[in-house]
Structure 1
Amino acid sequence: MSITAGILYPGYSAEDDYPALERLLGGGISLPLVHTLMREDAHRVDALLDVGSAEVLAEGARELLTRGVQAVIWACTSGSFVFGWEGARDQVEKLQAVTGLATSSTSFAFVHAAARLGLDRVAVAATYPADVADRFADFLAHGGIEVTRLSSRGIVTAAEVGTLTREQVLEFAAANDDPTAQALLMPDTALHTAAWLDELEQRLGKPVLTANQVSAWEVLRLAGDPGPHEGLGTLFRQAGPDRGELGGAAPR
């Protein structure tokens, strides 16, 4: 089965996670990526609202449609949840009007991934400044997910997040887990994690959901990938649900 699932990615930081995921997923799966405009690299609310604006996403989507994709994801967590639940849903709907395809965003991918695994209590290890991390926790709460521990690394730019090493990522995850949480979420698509997903879970002894991982899972789910896949954490080891099982790309 051949699947081509499109990635809209802001700027440059950890976009190489997607070719890595593609290699790990094996033949028949393609994850073409288009970089969207980032006028300012800053995990700051005003900058994130611009990064996720309808005009910016539409421009990227039109380019992505030339790659023969079957579904599309806006692979930016902060550039979606910063709009709030209803705003993020509106963002996806406007983007889907451009793509004409099943479309979602990383923020909704986290909610759908948690539902797929039956999670309702999670810890969050966010690289963002605290005020931005708080908005992610609010978004999860709207999706019925309790955040039992919220940690912030306070990094302002995606470029800096992208420089964190394997050991720094593993240590950050382990230091910010909560024993009462069913899983740990790491919500920044600027953070490299693709090569270390199983290692992260082995270190913590529970599922770990990361932004690029759930983005790829969500867009492949929407494109009809049946799964399962090994080497990419608990989420990908599940047989894939059909498109309707978890509801629309942006639940109300």
Structure 2
Amino acid sequence: MTDALGWRRKFGVIAPSTNTIVEPDFYRLSVPGVTAHFSRIHIRDQNMADDAGMDRLLAQIRAEIGAACERVLTCEPDYMVMGMSAETFWGGVEGNKEFVQQIHDITGLEVATGAEACRRALELFGARRVGVVTPYQPVGDENVVRFFGELGFAVAAIEGLRCPTAVSIAHVGEDELRRALLKVDSDDIDALIQCGTNLSMVRLADEAERWLGKPVIAINAATWWMALRDNGITDRIEGAGTLLREH
């Protein structure tokens, strides 16, 4: 029997329990016949005020992600989407491959990750030099730079906002994000990327593309774009950037 609402695809989505942005973002980007079904990773210690705190946060995600996947499988999704991004950059290209394989081994499904979605977007746009904005501590930024560098992209500038807790990432407003984008942009930058699924950037990225004159890739928009296109869904979505509107 076909699902009454998710008659084209049902996406299982994994997100940290502290994340308040990615779920409404994905719902706002919904298209007819595609539904998103969230399973939460329990974050007991959300302090990420330094590198050690961020490492502890990632350790919690690794310990809980299997159970979160198993819970969402009970709704019989067709495809998996990662509503978190730091873990998908960790360990560079090989780390991302291992992460994707882990999710596939648990669920038997293909999976969209923020890291892979950004790679595809940069290749689509022909971008080589990028500026990056993250909510992370230095250890997180190092892994982002490593991932893109191993793929042959040059991270010419990166601005880590050093958010002190996992929840506080969602408190970053558009003024601060706009300043961060301008800080990492320059004439020799081909595209800008925003990492961190709990940063609210989708609407601002769409706006920023017009006044910067280059691609601005919000990770939630890119991940949703990858999920849709991997499943043969070509609907165009307005207000979320060039990727979803034109590709």
Q: What's the TM-score bracket when you normalise by the shorter of the two chains?
A: 0.7 to 0.9
Change (3 A) 1:181 1:14: farther
**Could you tell me the percent identity over the aligned residues?**
24
Equivalent residue for 1:10? 16
Q: Is structure 2 residue 138 aligned with structure 1 residue 130?
A: yes
Cα distance in 1 for partners of 2:64, 2:232 equals 27
Q: Conserved in 2, the CA contact under 8 Å of 1:4 and 1:223?
A: no
Q: Conserved in 2, the CA contact under 8 Å of 1:125 and 1:177?
A: no
Equivalent residue for 1:232? 240
Q: Is structure 2 residue 42 aligned with structure 1 residue 37?
A: yes
Q: Conserved in 1, the CA contact under 8 Å of 2:43 and 2:61?
A: no
- TM-score between the two structures when normalised by the length of structure 2: 0.85
Q: What runs of 5+ residues in structure 2 fail to find an aligned partner?
A: 1-6
Q: Conserved in 2, the CA contact under 8 Å of 1:49 and 1:83?
A: no
Equivalent residue for 1:49? 58
Residue 139 of structure 1 aligns with an amino acid whose one-letter code is: F
Cα distance in 2 for partners of 1:208, 1:39 equals 33
Report the more deviating stretch, 79-88 or 183-192: 79-88
Per-residue deviation, 1:96:
0.5
Equivalent residue for 2:114? 106
Deviations 1:54-78 (A, max 9, x none): x422211112222332211222221
Deviations 1:68-106 (A, max 9, x none): 322112222212222332222112101101111111322
Q: Conserved in 2, the CA contact under 8 Å of 1:71 and 1:222?
A: no
Cα distance in 2 for partners of 1:23, 1:104 equals 18
Runs of 4+ in 1 over 6 A off after TM superposition: none
Q: Conserved in 2, the CA contact under 8 Å of 1:194 and 1:213?
A: yes
Cα distance in 1 for partners of 2:237, 2:16 equals 26
Q: Conserved in 2, the CA contact under 8 Å of 1:71 and 1:102?
A: yes
Per-residue deviation, 1:48:
4.1
Per-residue deviation, 1:14:
3.2
**What secondary structure sits across from 1:32 in the alignment?**
strand
Equivalent residue for 1:248? none
Per-residue deviation, 1:121:
1.5
Q: Conserved in 1, the CA contact under 8 Å of 2:159 and 2:183?
A: no
Q: What runs of 5+ residues in structure 1 fail to find an aligned partner?
A: 240-252
- TM-score between the two structures when normalised by the length of structure 1: 0.84
Q: Is structure 2 residue 207 aligned with structure 1 residue 202?
A: no
Equivalent residue for 1:249? none
Equivalent residue for 1:243? none
Equivalent residue for 1:179? 187
Residue 22 of structure 1 aligns with an amino acid whose one-letter code is: Y
Cα distance in 1 for partners of 2:167, 2:179 equals 20
Cα distance in 2 for partners of 1:84, 1:59 equals 25
Task: Please give the residue correspondences for 1:84-163 in structure 2 after superposition, counting only pairs within 5 Å.
Answer: 84-163=92-171
Q: Conserved in 1, the CA contact under 8 Å of 2:159 and 2:180?
A: no
Change (3 A) 1:22 1:117: farther
**What secondary structure sits across from 2:149 in the alignment?**
helix
Change (3 A) 1:24 1:148: same
Per-residue deviation, 1:42:
4.1
Report the more deviating stretch, 91-100 or 112-121: 112-121
Q: CA RMSD in A?
A: 2.2
